[in-house]
Structure 1
Amino acid sequence: MHLEDYNPHWRKGYFYGHEKKREIYGELWKSAEKRRITVITGTRRVGKTTIMKQIINDLIKNEVARYNILYFSFDESQPSIRDVIKEYEEKLGKDVSLSGEKYYVFFDEVQKLDNWHEQIKYFYDFYENIKFFVSGSASLFIKKGVRESLAGRVKEFYMGGLSFREYLIFTDKEYMLEKPEMFEDTLKSEFSRYLKRQYIEIVSEDEEEIRDYVRSIVEKVIYIDIPYIFSVKNPHLLMKIAGIVASSPGMLVDYTSISRAIGGGESISRVRVSNYIHYLEEAYLLKLGYNYSRSEMVSERKLKKAYLSNP
């Protein structure tokens, strides 16, 4: 398992990089002293891992012992939570639950772990001196676990793409917000750039690099993440749906029309199309816009508009 590889902050003087923080950071930091499990959701590359490591930095700066902070990612391997905690205790040379000390445990990409919610529930209930942070890239998978086993035990935070204010901060142009009337034309130009640069890693990249970057994220979510969680046998159909929405943002979601468009002669049921769109929405790739109505039932019956969540 090599826990030391995941925890370079155990070394004296070590701090993670990434000094600039997202707007959500303040609320996440406040949650560090709350008993409930802090759950961070959002798509790939949105900054969940970075923000966890920023919290680790600040815990150390606030005199939490380095060895009392554990980070582990389930992205590449999926040992049980019990095995991770057991190895951690072996390295510490003590039983965490009996130590009388406070510990902070960060589990990244927890949706990759089967029955993560059942596993973490045991440690939440019996290791009261551990504060858990977990991250995940699939809303439904996280919500299902919360409903089934962790009701009342979690506080969920969603991380989306950068806001325009955050974009200006990460491009060192936040000074424009102090006197926006002085930079009206420049802000308009920056906003046009921002619309295609809502991930931290591409705020300064050119159009070709942006296309490659976003395509790689979409492909990993569609061909790896969604099939793993929802047992989708034909992920290429998910890609076709995403492509249709990308070419017609704001399109009305007509399941019959979409079924014909992606079928290529194959009969694709409306229910299947509906499920696939739901999976894309839960994976934060699509957003559905609902027509306003005083009646929720009427609003649900009307055709919805579909957009990509990030350009």
Structure 2
Amino acid sequence: MDILFSNSQNLLTQVGDEFFRYLFDKIDWNLRMIAIKGPRGSGKTTLMLQQIKYGIKPKAQEALYFSADHYWFYTHNLVETAHTFYQNGGRYLFIDEVHKYPNWSREIKNIYDSFPDLKVVFSSSSALDIYKGESDLSRRVFTYELPGMSFREYLNLTQGQNFQPVSLAEVQNTQADITKEINSKLHPLPIFREYLKRGYLPIITESNPEIIPIFLQQIINTVVESDLAFIADYNAGTAYKVKKLLGVLAESAPFKPNVSSIARKIETSRDSVYEWLTQLEKARLLNFLVADGKGVSLLQKPDKVYLENTNLSYALKANPEIGSVRETFLLNQLKNINKEVRLPKSGDFLIEDLVIEVGGKNKDANQVRHLKNHMIVADEIEYGFGNKIPLWVFGMMY
């Protein structure tokens, strides 16, 4: 196992404590088994390495990090590796990209049952259904979701700030205080523009900003050709059609999908389109909006389809329409704080009884004025007034 320990130690020397994703402090690291799901590039690996280096601060041999697709596993299995690690004093096991390992759920269950005082943290693609594996993990594992960065995290990372998250209720009721504090320290609008184009993933600090769209295109290829290939058993032909579907969606998102037309365009069946849409949504490449009053079920056509985040909009289309970008951002941030968002009869989004209309700085309430509880979310303004709130403020919620 020397190669695994050597690799783990090398990675630990490279991780720093300058920036922690918001989830770091929300995870109960004392749990026996933790799953961290999230899109590629969101920082799952760094999160685990930071917990080893700054959370556990273990003695030698007590903690081990490795990726489940390491070549070590060509000739060894997870249970055997955990057993050897445990016998040599190991107590904290961190497994990255567990979905790349065949029969992962059975072996993870065996590790849990065989080593009661071994703590296990594993990461996986967003698309993986942790509780749908061959073995029942529902009573054993606690799952956390790590989305891409909020605008708040982007400000803290790139501007050296320490802004704290605010709730949706605080955005509604104390926006004046929030905007006053932030505007006293910086001008948010030009930074917000950069965030929309390339600030959703922490990779922004490690790469030339101009190549972020290329990096995102590589992520899309990896998600479809590698992650979904493992999880949904895609072959090369299926992966090609799924990428073609994503290209069709990117051209006009957000839009109300005509599944029959899409199926004809990419030469596949309606059922395949429904299935692939669901998988792309689970993989955090798409977001769905369902009309108010409708149930949510698998293989049901969503009423509106969005790309999952605005960086994808700019990566897949040279000049995305700004109105679409605004809606994509707001839906993304609301879903990332686990709000149930619906498509209302009037307005853009519905959260419980609150209708939200999104637009530019001159947006008025004409379309939703007749509704008792409504809000105007306006881009290109630093301060709001009444129920007109700056769009960027919704990026401060996690």
Task: Please indicate, yes or no, whether the TM-score normalized by the shorter chain is above 0.5.
Answer: yes
Rounded to whole Å, the distance in 1 between the matches of 2:297 and 2:286 is 22
Alignment check: 8 A CA contact 1:287 1:306 kept: yes
Of 253, 264, 268, 1:249 maps to 253
- Equivalents in 1 of 2:301, 2:137: separation in Å? 34
User: What residue is the counterpart of 2:38 in the other structure?
Assistant: 42
Task: Please tell me whether residue 172 in structure 1 is matched to residue 159 in structure 2.
Answer: yes
| Cα gap change, 1:206 to 1:253, in 2 (>3 Å) | farther
Deviation at 1:173, TM superposition (A): 4.6
In structure 2, what is the equivalent of residue 99 of structure 1?
Answer: none
Cα deviation for residue 301 of structure 1 reads 6.0
| Contact 1:19/1:54 (8 A) holds in 2 | no
**What SS is found at the alignment partner of 1:152?**
coil
- Residue of structure 2 in register with 1:57 after alignment: 53
2:223 is matched with: 221
Judge conservation of contact 1:109–1:136 (CA < 8 Å) in 2.
yes
Specify the alignment match of 1:80 in structure 2.
77
Q: Say yes or no: does 1:280 pair with 2:284.
A: no
Structure with higher RCO (Cα < 8 A, 6+ apart)? 1
Amino acid at match of 2:190: S
Per-residue deviation at 1:6? 2.7
* In structure 1, distance between residues paired with 2:108 and 2:220: 29
Query: Structure 1 CA distance, aligned partners of 2:205 and 2:55?
Result: 28
Q: Deviations over 1:200-230 (max 9, x none)?
A: 1125866641211111111111122212221
Partner residue, 2:192:
191
Alignment match, 2:394: none
User: Which residue among 117, 136, 143 is the counterpart of 1:156?
Assistant: 143
Q: Where does structure 2 lack aligned partners over 5 or more consecutive residues?
A: 164-177, 312-398
Q: Is the 8 A contact 2:244 2:266 kept in 1?
A: yes
Amino acid at match of 2:159: D
- Mapped partners of 2:14, 2:183: distance in 1: 39
Give the helix-richer structure, 1 or 2.
Answer: 1
Give the conservation status (yes or no) of the 8 Å contact 2:66–2:95. Answer: yes
Q: Does 1:125 align with 2:113?
A: yes
Q: 1:290 aligns to what?
A: 290
Q: CA RMSD in A?
A: 2.8
Partner in structure 1 of residue 62 of structure 2: 68
Question: Cα gap change, 1:205/1:84 in structure 2, threshold over 3 Å: closer, same or farther?
Answer: closer
DSSP-derived class of the 2:49 partner: helix
User: 1:3 touches 1:72 (CA, 8 Å); kept in 2?
Assistant: yes
Provide the rounded CA distance (Å) in 2 between the counterparts of 1:308 and 1:204. Answer: 24
* 1:139-190 Cα distance to aligned partner (Å, 9 max, x none): 3342413x84111211111111100100001102526878224367x21221
The secondary structure found in structure 2 opposite 1:149 is: coil
CA pair 152-205 structure 1, distance change in 2 beyond 3 A: same
For 2:115 and 2:297, how far apart are their aligned partners in 1? 47
SS of the equivalent of 1:50 reads helix
TM-fit CA distance, 1:276: 1.2
SS of the residue corresponding to residue 66 of structure 1 reads coil
Q: Aligned equivalents of 1:217 and 1:60: distance in 2? A: 31
Does the Cα contact within 8 Å between 1:60 and 1:66 map onto a contact in 2? no
Cα distance in 1 for residues equivalent to 2:109 and 2:266: 41
Counterpart of 1:7, as a letter, is S
Distance 2:284 2:84 in 1: 34
| Paired amino acid for 1:190 | I
Q: Distance in 2 between matches of 1:10 and 1:190?
A: 31
The question of whether the paired residues in 1 share the 8 Å contact of 2:82 and 2:111 is answered with no
Under a length normalisation based on structure 2, what TM-score does the superposition of the two structures give?
A: 0.66
Shift in alpha-carbon separation, 1:38–1:60, aligned structure 2, 3 A: closer
In structure 2, distance between residues paired with 1:203 and 1:291: 38
Question: Which whole-Å CA distance do the structure 1 matches of 2:296 and 2:219 have between them?
Answer: 35
Q: Contact 1:107–1:135 (CA<8 Å) still a contact in 2?
A: yes
CA distance, structure 1, for counterparts of residue 300 and residue 210 of structure 2? 40
TM-score w.r.t. length of structure 1? 0.83
Work out the CA distance in 1 between the residues paired with 2:256 and 2:126. 24
**Equivalent position to 2:184, from 182, 185, 188:** 182
Matches of 1:216 and 1:189, distance apart in 2: 27
CA distance in 1, matches of 2:300, 2:213: 35
Counterpart CA distance in 2 for 1:106 and 1:140 is: 18
Which string of whole-angstrom CA distances, capped at 9 and with x for unpartnered residues, describes residues 258-304 of structure 1? 112222xxxx11001111111211222111111121x5269996742
Query: In the alignment, is the contact (CA less than 8 A) between 2:36 and 2:146 conserved in 1?
Result: yes
Three-state SS of the structure 2 residue aligned to 1:38 is strand
Q: Is the 8 A contact 2:36 2:145 kept in 1?
A: yes
Look up the SS of the partner of 1:67 in the other structure. coil
